Structure 1
Amino acid sequence: MFSLISVNAIAQERSKIDLKEDSKWIPEIIQRLDYFIDTTNALDIKKVSSPAFQEKFKPISDPHIVYENITDFIWIRMTVANHQQNDHYSWYFESWGYDLDEIIFYSPQENKGYFPMKAGYDYPFGDRDILHKNFNYFLNIRPGETKTYYIKIRRSYPLTFSFHLRTNDEFISHSLNEYFFLGLYYGILLLILTLHLYLVVKLKKNLYLFSSILILSSIWFSLGRDGLGFQYLWPSVPGINTITNFSSLTELFVIISTLLFSYFFVQKYKKNPKLKSLTLAAIAIMVGMFLNQNYGLVMDAIPYMIISFLILLVPFTIGLRSLLSIGRFSLSYTLAYVCLFLIIAHSYTRAFALFSDPILNWYFVHPVIIVEMVLFSLSILNQIKYLQEEYKKANLEKTTALEEKNRVTYEMNNKLHQKVKERTEEIENMAADLAQKNVVLQTTNLKLEELNTQISNINRYLKENNDKLRNNVEEITKDMALMKGFEFEDFKKVFPDKETCLKFLSELKWQQKFICKKCGYNKSTESRNHGRRCKNCNYYESPTADTLFHKLKFPIEKAFYILYLSNRKDVELTLNELSEILDLRRETCWAFKNKIAQAMEKVGHNKELSGWETLALVHLE
């Protein structure tokens, strides 16, 4: 192993940082260091720190060191000479490039080589030697010593490096101030967030919901930018650093929540359907650009930022025109939108610097975010005040309208009262006249009632006589059919169909009373075809059962006529004539006439004394 003294001697001839007697803080030492690009990514500290290798280091002339070689390791050489006499101070190296993927600080250890201290955004936060959001390392250099340190760095974008040397008391003071102001910053944001969440719960409006989401997005954006999120919220999950810081996801959330907040803010003043379409279109384009930037063709930072500005300007301009059209220009709302553009511009300080001071570059966004949140909050408060004034104005107009309505109503009521009084007097006079006429009318009504009673009695008498006359006519007609000489066509007028015949046969069969043949019960209900169904056993009996027409094979109305003719002495039709009249076969006519003759013989029927209907109820076995 070569001697560290020889290495230090070679390094002293090149770049060197002198710790003078009155020095406590040496800022921005980047251009006093040397660098080497390891394109093989295979060099170790033994090789890099060897005397023969020192000629390969070059002086750093730019805070980015190099823009290219993103995938290669950068080796940085730092030579420090402590000229201080007081050994009370300890010195620390600090890197503000807190989002380095990997940084290994090699500290010389007498003649034992170099001691590595590794950390980075790809490693858990607890792996750091000093638990600080920035990368800090103890130099362990005593008065009169000169040491050379090596730093191995892996990065994911051409960031701006910012290195500092501080004494222990300066480091503590700086850290306390830095954490104090960051705590104050997040405290203010949390207070503003509490106010907006209160409005969400109290008023339940989308505007305050998205303003709360905007504040939360800004907090997450800040936590990723200043490193406090990695230190306190996800120290054991370094993968979140990529999502939070490098993918621009937090910036996308800030943009989307600002667009939605802006949309609902303008809509509270004036409805504008066009603004909704433009806002949704802007969100869709921004999401598409985000996906392309992370998973497709990567666009350079400057064009990407300019396109983002142009997209955001469209809904902002339309919304501002809506406010101007009703005379409600909001300066706080406009300035807050300007702050959004500054935040977006700040998110690209990885690629270019807004300011020459790297500390200002890092922390510029924090006051801008506070200003934006305060301005948006003022816009909301002004809007609430405006809505309250509009509400009071509407109530005043409503009160004025009600008073006018009450006045008109009072006048109308007075006029109506006068007219009602006049009309009442007129009605009272008419009522007195009507009362006199009513007496006459009642007398007339009594007489009319007597006449109506007499007419009703006469009508009832006429109705009874008409019913009797009609019944007599029907009975006479039926008697003529039963006893006198009817032709078949005339007979069909009395018994036109099967329905009439069955009804007649049913009335004839049960004219006395019904007795069930199955159980002997004497109550029934009329069923289909005018039959009877026993209420006790549900036995059904047809009108033709146990009659001369039982199991008849031809229309019953024709059988009625044959039976009718058999009881007449003045008519003697041959079988051929009867067959032709009834349109039946000669054998059918003969069979039924023979059945009638058997029935006459069974009951001793006398044509002179009995009608033909008495034969209808004769049952032949």
Structure 2
Amino acid sequence: MTFARFFLSLRRVGGLPPLLILFGNLLFLLLLPALVKGQAADTLRVAPGLAEVFLAPGSYDVLEDPTGQLTLGQVRQPRWARQFRRASSLPTTTMEHPGAAYWLRLRVRADGALAQHWYLEMFDSHLNEVAFFPANGAAPTITGAGRPLSTRKFPYKNFLFQLALRDQQTQTYFLRLVSSSKTTFLGRLRAEQPLAVHFQTEYGLLGAFYGVLLIMVVYNLCLYLFIGEQTYLRYVLYVLSCSLLFLSEDGLGFQYLWPHHPAINEVIIAGAPILLLFTFSFYARQFLDTAQHLPRLDRWLQAVTLGSVAVLVLNAVWIRSGWAVLLYLVPYSLIYYAAFRVWRRGYRPARFFLLAHALVALSVLFLILRRLGIDTFTSTGTVYSMNVAFVVEVVVLSYALGEKIKVIKDATIRTQGKLVKQLRKKHAVQQQLVEQLHQNQDLQNQLNTELESLVAQRTTELSQQGETIAAQNRELLQANGLLALQSAAIEQLNQNLRRDLQEVKTARVLSKEVDFGEFSQIYPDKDACLTYLANLKWANGYQCRKCGHEKYCDGREPHSRRCTKCRYVESATAYTLLQKCKFSIIKAFYAAFLIYTHQGNYSSQELSRVLDLRQGTCWSFSQKVLEAMRRRRQAPDFDENEGWTHTLLDDATTAEVEEPAAESANTSA
């Protein structure tokens, strides 16, 4: 019986003198802090029905070794064992002194026969050295962020150790932790099956997250290459630096990208936040256009950012102070202040910046608190808050990009309107030139008539007027040359006008403002539709569906292709939405266009009226188009902004197959 239990039992004994009971109570209250401080940590209990147990501060003991020289045998000696303190009694449950060794003592008891293995998981992947000492005296597992990934028994982004638990037995485990920065002792015990489910869920979500980042990098890089706007390139650099930070924070980078280079891992852990600060400032100044709206504040922002980056690099290389991370707050706060000032001045895109980066700022604050060793707000939600915040940022900035594209589109439409007006003016000038040509021709005819009459009447004056007539002929030749140049210019203008009209019609088709007559001008006949469908179908090259051969020749049907190896023939409509279509392919194109542009809300009655087809036929085809649209939305490469022609390549129906033997028979016939 412990000393505390002795006094508690003494209070329950009847018949004792009241003075003795009072003295016992006072002595118990005076010794209670020392008793609580010196008693061992609570035992962690696992049972068959449990899935996981968190390492609460009251469930383990901590011993700080400033020299880092103590061994397991020494810490088990009474001299050092008495210096273990319960984590809940410490001022803070963090590793306050980077570089020092911290020993953790855990007591785990299995209440019942366990059907699954249990594992100890340490969350912080930045621990430079982690040594796990099993309770059965086996060889310790020594690993950490400063050692290759091959030193870990389980190749996982966090530190995972197996516990050899026995029924109705309490076992003591020791952990030796060393870190170059302030961190916490966060961890938990997990059963094998829930741990496997957790792995699948966590890695699936992280894979989707990094997939979104990759899509945004490729998408904005393509926009930069096509448009040349530097904002997209700066945004790509910002997304890449965020990806590097995420890879270093969650440990996936060390697990998959540089598992054999712990030195690179430590450099990235220290440098990724600094790179994020630099690229974020680089991108934010361009997006907000602070150099134009707030030139004085822009100079301060640039100086503060560069100064903070220099101090942070110096701290990471030489000083190694845990409080240097507070420098991140200064440039981030100044950038948000600049965004607010720019928004107040009427720059509308700044509101998207404030909205998109609000959660990012909060997640950066959580990151700084973790780097300072403050675990008050540390949880699964705050650890992955930056991932969620960055996805929200991508959505908001994508909407901002859509609005920006809409503004560009409106400006393009206005420019096209001005161009049409200019073409009309040029056409009017062309008409004036034609009239002038007619007048010149009439004048020339009149002059020729007068000359003929003068030749008949004044033969005697022919020699005198020869030079005059020759001069007039030279002038007429020059005028004819000018007229020829003008005629060529007029022809070029006519060609440009026809091309612009064709482009306007095509643009109207893409903007969903076209009737069947105008649509037929874009796709005038069956051959044009088959040509377009064949080019769309084999845009990425031909490959035989039967043998995989990539060389072909023309089949007997128009726009069909025959494999030169197995002689398998595939028509342009095979494996598409138009296979075995029983009405005109032009009407089928227009029907698919109408249903897609109206997002499936186009009745078969209206389609029957527009296409002059039976309602049953229109209903059946509408169902095929709707099914193709549904499958297209479920495709991995689906894009909300893609055109209606993607539905034409739906291959859910049974493709027509022309056997090589039949083709050989037809060829011989």
TM-score over 0.5 (shorter chain): yes
Determine if contact 1:282/1:312 at 8 Å carries over to the other structure: no
Change (3 A) 1:263 1:302: closer
Equivalent in 114, 120, 124 of residue 87 of structure 1: 114
Does 2:358 align with 1:334?
A: no
SS at the partner of 1:287? helix
Following superposition, the deviation at residue 284 of structure 1 comes to 2.7
Equivalent in 237, 240, 247 of residue 213 of structure 1: 237
Whole-angstrom distance in 2 between the partners of 1:118 and 1:296 = 27
Change (3 A) 1:286 1:401: farther
Equivalent in 153, 157, 167 of residue 143 of structure 1: 167
Larger-gyration structure (1/2): 1
Whole-angstrom distance in 2 between the partners of 1:428 and 1:273 = 77
> Which stretch of structure 1 is more off in the superposition, 204-213 or 93-102?
204-213
- CA shift digits 1:159-216 (9 cap, x unpaired): 1221101111122222222222111211222222232233244334433322222222
Following superposition, the deviation at residue 418 of structure 1 comes to 8.2
SS at the partner of 1:230? helix
Whole-angstrom distance in 1 between the partners of 2:232 and 2:326 = 33
Following superposition, the deviation at residue 243 of structure 1 comes to 1.6
Determine if contact 2:288/2:339 at 8 Å carries over to the other structure: no
SS at the partner of 2:82? helix
Matches within 5 A, 1:260-279: 260-265=282-287, 274=295
Does 2:134 align with 1:120?
A: no
Does 2:318 align with 1:290?
A: no
Matches within 5 A, 1:63-462: 65-66=93-94, 68-83=96-111, 85-109=112-136, 113=137, 115-245=139-269, 247=270, 249-265=271-287, 274=295, 280-281=302-303, 283-295=305-317, 298=321, 300-301=323-324, 303-313=326-336, 315-317=338-340, 320=343, 324-325=346-347, 328-329=348-349, 331-348=351-368, 349-351=370-372, 353=374, 356-404=377-425, 406-407=427-428
Whole-angstrom distance in 1 between the partners of 2:340 and 2:317 = 31
SS at the partner of 1:56? coil
Determine if contact 2:48/2:115 at 8 Å carries over to the other structure: no
Higher relative contact order (CA 8 A, sep 6+): 1
TM-score normalised by structure 2 residue count? 0.55
- CA shift digits 1:289-325 (9 cap, x unpaired): 3334335665835741331223323553565467x25
- Look up the match of 2:650: none
- Look up the match of 2:592: none
Change (3 A) 1:244 1:342: farther
SS at the partner of 1:94? strand
SS at the partner of 1:108? coil
- CA shift digits 1:570-603 (9 cap, x unpaired): xxxxxxxxxxxxxxxxxxxxxxxxxxxxxxxxxx
Following superposition, the deviation at residue 18 of structure 1 comes to 1.8
Following superposition, the deviation at residue 427 of structure 1 comes to 14
- Look up the match of 1:53: 80
Following superposition, the deviation at residue 116 of structure 1 comes to 1.5
Whole-angstrom distance in 2 between the partners of 1:359 and 1:318 = 35
Determine if contact 1:221/1:250 at 8 Å carries over to the other structure: yes
TM-score normalised by structure 1 residue count? 0.59
- Look up the match of 2:603: none
Determine if contact 1:91/1:167 at 8 Å carries over to the other structure: yes
- CA shift digits 1:244-272 (9 cap, x unpaired): 11x2x2223323333333444456x9976
Whole-angstrom distance in 1 between the partners of 2:106 and 2:63 = 12
Determine if contact 1:91/1:168 at 8 Å carries over to the other structure: yes
Following superposition, the deviation at residue 117 of structure 1 comes to 1.2
- CA shift digits 1:539-585 (9 cap, x unpaired): xxxxxxxxxxxxxxxxxxxxxxxxxxxxxxxxxxxxxxxxxxxxxxx
Following superposition, the deviation at residue 391 of structure 1 comes to 1.6
Instruction: Give the superposed CA RMSD.
Output: 4.1
Whole-angstrom distance in 2 between the partners of 1:354 and 1:154 = 18
Whole-angstrom distance in 1 between the partners of 2:160 and 2:312 = 34
SS at the partner of 1:42? coil
Letter of the 2:339 counterpart: F
Determine if contact 1:64/1:161 at 8 Å carries over to the other structure: no
Letter of the 1:338 counterpart: A
Whole-angstrom distance in 1 between the partners of 2:62 and 2:294 = 58
Change (3 A) 1:44 1:397: same
SS at the partner of 1:158? coil
Whole-angstrom distance in 2 between the partners of 1:276 and 1:20 = 61
Whole-angstrom distance in 1 between the partners of 2:92 and 2:372 = 9
Following superposition, the deviation at residue 233 of structure 1 comes to 0.7
Does 2:71 align with 1:44?
A: yes
Whole-angstrom distance in 1 between the partners of 2:109 and 2:39 = 9
Whole-angstrom distance in 2 between the partners of 1:166 and 1:299 = 31
Determine if contact 1:92/1:138 at 8 Å carries over to the other structure: yes
Letter of the 1:108 counterpart: A
Whole-angstrom distance in 2 between the partners of 1:287 and 1:54 = 44
Following superposition, the deviation at residue 442 of structure 1 comes to 5.8
SS at the partner of 2:371? coil
Following superposition, the deviation at residue 423 of structure 1 comes to 13
Whole-angstrom distance in 1 between the partners of 2:202 and 2:462 = 112
Following superposition, the deviation at residue 151 of structure 1 comes to 1.0
> Which stretch of structure 1 is more off in the superposition, 123-132 or 52-61?
52-61
> Which stretch of structure 1 is more off in the superposition, 157-166 or 205-214?
205-214
Structure 2: gaps of 5 or more residues: 1-37, 468-669
Identity of aligned residues (%): 22
- CA shift digits 1:129-162 (9 cap, x unpaired): 2221111111101111101111111112221221
Whole-angstrom distance in 1 between the partners of 2:410 and 2:127 = 53
Letter of the 1:358 counterpart: S
Following superposition, the deviation at residue 42 of structure 1 comes to 1.9
Determine if contact 2:339/2:353 at 8 Å carries over to the other structure: no
SS at the partner of 1:36? strand
Determine if contact 2:101/2:178 at 8 Å carries over to the other structure: yes
- CA shift digits 1:400-420 (9 cap, x unpaired): 344356557757987998899
Following superposition, the deviation at residue 229 of structure 1 comes to 0.5
Change (3 A) 1:397 1:355: farther
Determine if contact 2:277/2:328 at 8 Å carries over to the other structure: no
Change (3 A) 1:252 1:87: closer
Whole-angstrom distance in 1 between the partners of 2:363 and 2:351 = 18
Letter of the 1:336 counterpart: A
